[in-house]
A and B are shown apart, each in its own frame.
Chain A
Amino acid sequence: MSLPANLSLQQDFFRLFNLSSRFQIDSAALEQGYLALQEQVHPDKYSHLSEAERRLSMQWATRVNEGYQTLRNPLSRARYLLSLHGVDTQEDSNTAMPADFLMQQMEWREALEETRHTENSAALEELEQRVQHQTRLLQQQLAIDIDETHDYAAASGIVRKLKFLEKLAEEIGSAFDELDS
């Protein structure tokens, strides 16, 4: 692709959707901004136009989708916001976790294995709810650390915890799939 670097294609996602760079965002405004942008840039609007316009449209629509996905999910939004502040969340390199958090993770993973063996969908649902509850609590803490106290080191720690919970939630999803088949 030999297009000249485009300033607006590379602007940060918050500016792209006309939002202020905070963890707490108005999700309705995000969705509204997303749809308004796609309405302008989506490839379906350009399919009868020149190749140059079709190519730009795909780049833009891709970028808008990426931005929407990044900001919509609280974990990726936090990670992105921290990276804008120059903070690396070290999710792969920093494996130090508080002991009580690790204990709880182990307990939940054992519970997951248990429900898999017994094919107990009620227990699986209960586990899912507990994980979701814990996720919400951590997200509330993230909002304070990022938006109010600007304690980005603490926020990075929460991001690493949330990453654990996200993986666990994915595995719970797979367990539901297995129960279904």
Chain B
Amino acid sequence: MALLQIAEPGLSAAPHQHRLAVGIDLGTTNSLVATVRNGISTVLNDIHGCAILPSVVRYAADGSVQVGDAAQAMQSEDPHNTIVSVKRFMGRGLKDVGEVGNLPYRFVDAPGMLQLRTAAGVKSPVEVSAEILKVLRERAELSLGGELVGAVITVPAYFDDAQRQATKDAAKLAGINVLRLLNEPTAAAIAYGLDNAAEGVYAVYDLGGGTFDISILKLSRGVFEVLATNGDSALGGDDFDRRIYCWVLEQAGLSALSAQDTRLLLTHSRTAKEQLTEYPQTQITAVLSGGVVVDLTLTRDAFYEMTHNLVTRTLQATRRALRDAKLKVEDIKGTVMVGGSTRMPQVQLAVGEFFGQTPLNNLDPDKVVALGAAIQANVLAGNRSGDDWLLLDVIPLSLGIETMGGLVEKIMPRNSTIPSARAQEFTTYKDGQTAMSIHVVQGERELVSDCRSLAKFELRGIPPMVAGSARIRVTFQVDADGLLSVSAREMSSGVESHITVKPSYGLSDEEITRMLRDSAQHAREDMQARALREQQTEAAQLLEAVDSALQQDGDALLDAEAQKRIRTSMNALRAVVEGSDHVAIKRAVEALNAATTDFAQRRMDLSVKRALAGHKLSELEG
């Protein structure tokens, strides 16, 4: 009979397992997933050996969904039901999307975020994005052979709160645990900086399919510090395509095209743009419905001319970022180019001229974001320790609240390092006022109507006082994902109101649950099985974390009694973790979390003392 193995008390029974974590670049045009394998960040291919998944989703009347190449192949034939560049609609209302008239979709205006009518029903951009993420999650799980602990999802640095929240909701809907939302240029900087042992101040110029970001980062040994970021979340390669498309319409004397013809010409425009990277001129030839033939020659010079002001807009944002960082062009040691649209020669030339140096292109601009995200995911999942790095990122746009006369009072300025909290006091306007409406906005403009409205909520129960004597303290907290929550408190009575900024743009947890339930692929059993697996994964992680914390600091920080209490909670969790009752696991997880709160606090104090003593944790342990 085989002998049963018993671990030494206080030591973890299993060796530290490598936790499966990925980085996902959810792009406007293409999406990718990457992971760290044997210490090297690698993009994961699909079963055909393809890394790039076109961000295209097609809905059929029978409820089936196609994603990627298969959907892309149908975009001209079935334009209403084939959603391209859905990222441009994330967290956006109909009025925010300027080029609605040029797009072959049946839009539905909805409060907060627009929706799209398809053969399979009305879909929100969050649901469409979730389909893309699901394919990438399945690809990763197949390729890595197990359930993911979580993923880092990248977002444009210039995405506002509504767009970030929508992205996080899409990940949840796709059954992905979001380890962190990471800004795309920052992800690229990680991949670039670690690869090149770069030191100094760098500019990351990221022109993607639909968004533009410029981030100024200070790289030093073990630290990536974003000094400033700027951009335009509605400027990218798609706009260059559209300039060609409009030129074609004008040259060929066309107007009011069908959805099919619009998509066909947009596709030809994109091909022409790509051709002009290689050749001085290109031919655009298409046969439209009704037999109209388009046959035009487009030269590189004409293309540069018609897109000149798009490039200029990116340089204006770049100047703003430099000014916010209080730096001059000469202070920039290198410019890292990211995003497929930076392949356009006129972009390379303009950026080179602006910074007075040749931009750095030594990493694949299509993959560098996913590669960097995977490296960060590996760290966040806890697969490295000791020699990792510090990442300090910022919020891209100021946050404020509406005051009298529709004006914005900024509470947290743009480029504040996150996580960040700011508070400001306001007072009542009328005698005896007992409620106050708080309208949270994001943007740089002075008028509320020119900024993005994020949420409105009410603080009630203010004790009646003379106008101007109540003191209402509004606190903004932005977490490490760049997501905002707001609380308001009347200082004399302590009446409090708190909101995670979601309702006007994001989805509530109930809505996500409903969508999950509605979706054909997720039968009820699936949902429960997933909930169970998620709880088990979380429980296992927690047990391992507490176990290693006890090993490190248990004896130093806790008496025997306190250690015993924590061990009892751990055993209670171990007793249910392999069972099938996810509610019982959840309760035991919560109980263990509560039992370790005081210990966590003592450990944090110890860490801070170590920092103050001027030592790195690694030195103390080593």
Real complex partners, A and B? Answer: yes
Chain A proximity mask over B372-389: 1 for CB below 8 Å, otherwise 0 = 000010011110000010
Given A6-B601, A36-B611, A56-B604; A50-B592 close (CB under 8 Å): yes
Q: Which chain A residue lies CB-closest to B382? A: A48
Q: Cβ of A6: which chain B residues have Cβ within 8 Å of it?
A: 601, 605
B308 at the interface (CB under 8 A from A): no
Please measure, in the bound complex, the distance between the C-alpha atom of A181 and the C-alpha atom of B617, giving whole angstroms.
Answer: 47
Q: Cβ of B605: which chain A residues have Cβ within 8 Å of it?
A: 6, 8
The 10 residue pairs across chains A and B that have the minimum distance between CB atoms: A48-B382, A40-B607, A52-B600, A43-B480, A52-B597, A180-B316, A47-B380, A53-B600, A40-B611, A36-B611
Q: Cβ of A181: which chain B residues have Cβ within 8 Å of it?
A: 316
Q: Which chain A residue lies CB-closest to B542? A: A50
Q: Give the residues from 130 to 167 in chain B that come closer than 8 angstroms, CB to CB, to chain A.
A: 149
Q: Which chain B residue lies CB-closest to A35? A: B223
A18 at the interface (CB under 8 A from B): yes
Binding site for B on A (CB under 8 A): 3-4, 6, 8, 18, 33, 35-45, 47-53, 56-58, 60-62, 65-66, 68-69, 173, 176-177, 180-181
B596–A52 CB distance below 8 A? yes
B603 at the interface (CB under 8 A from A): yes
Q: In the complex, how many residue pairs between chain A and chain B have their CB atoms under 8 Å apart?
A: 126
B319 at the interface (CB under 8 A from A): yes
Q: Which chain A residue lies CB-closest to B480? A: A43
Q: Cβ of A49: which chain B residues have Cβ within 8 Å of it?
A: 382, 545, 549, 600
Q: Which chain B residue lies CB-closest to A63? A: B421
Q: Which chain A residue lies CB-closest to B592? A: A50
B520 at the interface (CB under 8 A from A): no
**Neighbour of A39 across the interface among B390, B421, B479, B593, CB < 8 A:** B390
A36–B614 CB distance below 8 A? yes
7 more contacts with CB within 8 A, not counting A4-B601, A53-B600, A180-B319, are: A4-B598, A8-B605, A39-B390, A41-B611, A45-B388, A50-B592, A53-B545
Q: Cβ of B376: which chain A residues have Cβ within 8 Å of it?
A: 44
Interface residue stretch chosen among B293-301, B412-420, B501-509: B412-420
Q: Cβ of B444: which chain A residues have Cβ within 8 Å of it?
A: 177
A66–B420 CB distance below 8 A? yes
B593–A51 CB distance below 8 A? yes
* A–B complex contacts, Cβ < 8 Å, 26 sampled: A3-B597, A4-B601, A6-B605, A18-B612, A33-B611, A36-B612, A39-B616, A40-B611, A41-B604, A42-B390, A42-B392, A42-B480, A43-B479, A43-B480, A48-B380, A48-B381, A50-B542, A50-B593, A51-B593, A52-B594, A52-B599, A53-B545, A57-B604, A58-B419, A61-B419, A180-B320
Please measure, in the bound complex, the distance between the C-alpha atom of A120 and the C-alpha atom of B541, giving whole angstroms.
Answer: 60
**Neighbour of B180 across the interface among A38, A40, A47, CB < 8 A:** A47
Q: Which chain B residue lies CB-closest to A173? A: B323
Q: Give the residues from 536 to 558 in chain B that come closer than 8 angstroms, CB to CB, to chain A.
A: 541-542, 545-546, 549
Please measure, in the bound complex, the distance between the C-alpha atom of A62 and the C-alpha atom of B19, giving whole angstroms.
Answer: 28
A65–B600 CB distance below 8 A? no
B587 at the interface (CB under 8 A from A): no
B601–A56 CB distance below 8 A? yes
A58 to chain B, nearest CB (A): 5
Q: Which chain B residue lies CB-closest to A39? A: B390
**Neighbour of A58 across the interface among B320, B479, B616, CB < 8 A:** B479
B610 at the interface (CB under 8 A from A): yes
Q: Cβ of B617: which chain A residues have Cβ within 8 Å of it?
A: 39-40
Q: Cβ of B180: which chain A residues have Cβ within 8 Å of it?
A: 44, 47
Q: Cβ of B390: which chain A residues have Cβ within 8 Å of it?
A: 35, 38-39, 42, 44
Q: Cβ of B66: which chain A residues have Cβ within 8 Å of it?
A: none
Q: Cβ of A69: which chain B residues have Cβ within 8 Å of it?
A: 416-417
Q: Cβ of B597: which chain A residues have Cβ within 8 Å of it?
A: 3, 52
B349 at the interface (CB under 8 A from A): no
Q: Cβ of A42: which chain B residues have Cβ within 8 Å of it?
A: 390-392, 480
Please measure, in the bound complex, the distance between the C-alpha atom of A31 and the C-alpha atom of B486, giving whole angstroms.
Answer: 29
Binding site for A on B (CB under 8 A): 19, 149, 179-180, 222-223, 316, 319-320, 323, 376, 379-382, 388, 390-392, 416-421, 444, 477, 479-480, 541-542, 545-546, 549, 592-594, 596-601, 603-605, 607-608, 610-612, 614, 616-617
Q: Cβ of B479: which chain A residues have Cβ within 8 Å of it?
A: 43, 58
Given A8-B605, A40-B608; A52-B420 close (CB under 8 Å): no
B132 to chain A, nearest CB (A): 24
A66–B421 CB distance below 8 A? yes
Please measure, in the bound complex, the distance between the C-alpha atom of A62 and the C-alpha atom of B421, giving whole angstroms.
Answer: 6
Q: Cβ of A35: which chain B residues have Cβ within 8 Å of it?
A: 223, 390
Most buried by A among B179, B418, B420, B608: B608
A37–B611 CB distance below 8 A? yes
A74 to chain B, nearest CB (A): 14
Q: Which chain A residue lies CB-closest to B417? A: A65
Most buried by B among A42, A49, A60: A49
Q: Which chain A residue lies CB-closest to B21? A: A48
Q: Cβ of A47: which chain B residues have Cβ within 8 Å of it?
A: 179-180, 380-382
Given A48-B380, A61-B419; A41-B608 close (CB under 8 Å): yes
B610 to chain A, nearest CB (A): 6
Please measure, in the bound complex, the distance between the C-alpha atom of A35 and the C-alpha atom of B612, giving whole angstroms.
Answer: 11
Q: Cβ of A45: which chain B residues have Cβ within 8 Å of it?
A: 388
Please measure, in the bound complex, the distance between the C-alpha atom of A38 and the C-alpha atom of B617, giving whole angstroms.
Answer: 12
Please measure, in the bound complex, the distance between the C-alpha atom of A39 and the C-alpha atom of B222, giving whole angstroms.
Answer: 9
Please measure, in the bound complex, the distance between the C-alpha atom of A4 and the C-alpha atom of B599, giving whole angstroms.
Answer: 12
Most buried by A among B180, B382, B600, B601: B600
Please measure, in the bound complex, the distance between the C-alpha atom of A36 and the C-alpha atom of B618, giving whole angstroms.
Answer: 12
Q: Cβ of A177: which chain B residues have Cβ within 8 Å of it?
A: 320, 323, 444
A129 to chain B, nearest CB (A): 13
Q: Which chain A residue lies CB-closest to B590? A: A51
Please measure, in the bound complex, the distance between the C-alpha atom of A35 and the C-alpha atom of B220, giving whole angstroms.
Answer: 11
B541–A53 CB distance below 8 A? no
B600–A56 CB distance below 8 A? yes
Please measure, in the bound complex, the distance between the C-alpha atom of A42 and the C-alpha atom of B551, giving whole angstroms.
Answer: 22
Please measure, in the bound complex, the distance between the C-alpha atom of A42 and the C-alpha atom of B611, giving whole angstroms.
Answer: 12
Please measure, in the bound complex, the distance between the C-alpha atom of A176 and the C-alpha atom of B392, giving whole angstroms.
Answer: 27
Q: Cβ of B381: which chain A residues have Cβ within 8 Å of it?
A: 47-48
Please measure, in the bound complex, the distance between the C-alpha atom of A22 and the C-alpha atom of B597, giving whole angstroms.
Answer: 36
